[in-house]
Amino acid sequence: MERIGIIDIGSNSIRLVIIDVKDNGAHHLIENLKRTVRLRSGVEQGGLLTEQGIDTAVETISLFVKFCHARRVNRIIAAATAAVRQAANGGVLVDRIFKQTGVQTQVLSGEEEAYLGYIGLINSATETTGLMADLGGGSLKLVGIMDRLYRNSVTLEFGALSLMEKYDLADLPDPSNLRAFEAFLDESFSQIPWLAEYPRLMGIGGTFRSLARVYRNHVQYVPDLTDGIIIPAAAVEELYHKLRTMNLEQRRQVPGVELARADLIVTGLGVIHRLLQASKCPDVMVTAASIRDGLFYRYLLPRDPIVFSVLTHHINNLIEYHNLDESHLRRVSNLAVTLFDQLSPLHNLGSAERRLLLMASLLHELGIVVSVESLEKHTLYTILHSRFVSLAHRERVLVAYLAASHDEPFRAGLMDYVNHGPLVPEDLELIRKLAPILQIAHSLDRSRAGVVTHLKAVLSPGLCELRVFGPQKRDLEVSDAARHAPAFEREYGVKLVVLPG
């Protein structure tokens, strides 16, 4: 077991994450700390970091390093971004950090920072094409991604903090300052010819996470998750226009607005709003990815930091890190998709639904990391809130409820996701159709001995004969699968008979 600490010295805040890495490469985030330092505050491009800013940063990093030692971290990786890069005396901060802590800090170029954000995003999001935006306090990194490949890139040396100070937007903004701010953004974005070539804006960084929190509260959205949430451009515009009419104290009362970012929120939303207009993207997908993820994957996979398949990587990672019964999960998933394929004349579903069933089959016992008691409840929660299952929210909720229903139907709270979340009423029928298939597949490996190796569904009018094959006696599996026959008949309108082949 190795324990990695990553310190990200940003313009607005300094963050520390600690990640456990097992010998097989499986990894798990165990600490995520942040301190707002406003290192960039008061610094013009090419100017100087203040003594107070340097002192606060060094103090914070010293505390983080001591915390790493207390948590028995084996290796500390530190990187600094725009504030240090832009400052003429950035090297002074780097030297003081090294003298006080022994940690060497890498000052990232704009291109390196953009590339690390790209690595973090592309290794944690299932979207393969889009415009990545990483909005920090002192810079905005834009990367065009096509079929997971790094295609275009530009770093604009302004961010939410520097623009807030330049246009005096911390408190109730003057209308003339807002007009100048928006005109500056429009002019800056007009110089980038490839912005409108991508179908979706994908946002990383604290400003986008702030937007997600405000939006979730504004519409009472569930699940209460940032990673993977999709926010319409019209909603971003609405929130921007609403918040820019408020003074600082009023903004602090808005549900979802973080107190430390209340002065930045108008500037940040203004940048996102004008970027959506310039790119002509209909919405923004907010992710929890960051350059810290990029730094981690560059360390974990030094030869090629891009994982081959995002979903495969993260599902395998969850199984391996938590020491789940992988052989059982693989057998259940194979039986489930085989049965799905053979029942296609009954359900008329496609490859997207097959993928949901496959993921639910592989994760249907994830809740055991909490307790085997109330396993369905723990499975639902763990899938919904896992840091490393990067799915669109609709897929995540569907997979969670399917996995939680691997033995009996589990529907607690489901309608909330229809009324206030990403599901549509038709998704309820989809869960009802897929759940019996997973339940039967789970029953066919009930003893976890692999006695059922393959199956064949024989369909005739009003009847489905499910014949199960294997080299050993399979009475337990046949009997357990047969108890799901009533649920199967309710959903598919045919009688199910399970027989040894």
In which region does residue 117 sit, left (phi positive, over 0), alpha (psi from -120 to 50) or beta (all else)? Answer: alpha
| pLDDT at residue 47, rounded to an integer | 82
| pLDDT at residue 131, rounded to an integer | 98
Same fold, 2-107 and 310-500: no
Q: Which of 89, 88, 93, 92 is nearest to 37 (CA)?
A: 93
Taking the C-alpha atoms of residue 115 and residue 133, their distance in angstroms, rounded to an integer, is 11
Name, in order, each residue with C-beta under 8 angstroms of 472's C-beta and a sequence gap of 6 or more: 449, 451
| pLDDT at residue 388, rounded to an integer | 59
| pLDDT at residue 402, rounded to an integer | 98
Under CATH, which number does the domain 111-292 receive?
3.30.420.150
Per-domain residue ranges of the chain: 2-107, 111-292, 310-500
Q: Domain 310-500, what fold?
A: Hypothetical protein af1432 (1.10.3210)
| pLDDT at residue 391, rounded to an integer | 80
| pLDDT at residue 23, rounded to an integer | 96
Report DSSP letters for 224-265, one per residue.
Answer: ---TTEEEEHHHHHHHHHHHTTS-HHHHHTSTT--GGGTTTH
Residue 438, both tokens: 């997973």
CATH 3.30.420.40 matches 2-107: yes
Q: Which ranges of the chain have pLDDT less than 50?
A: none
The predicted-structure confidence for 288-299, as pLDDT tens digits, reads as follows: 999 999 999 999
Quick check: bond before 486 cis, omega within 30?
no
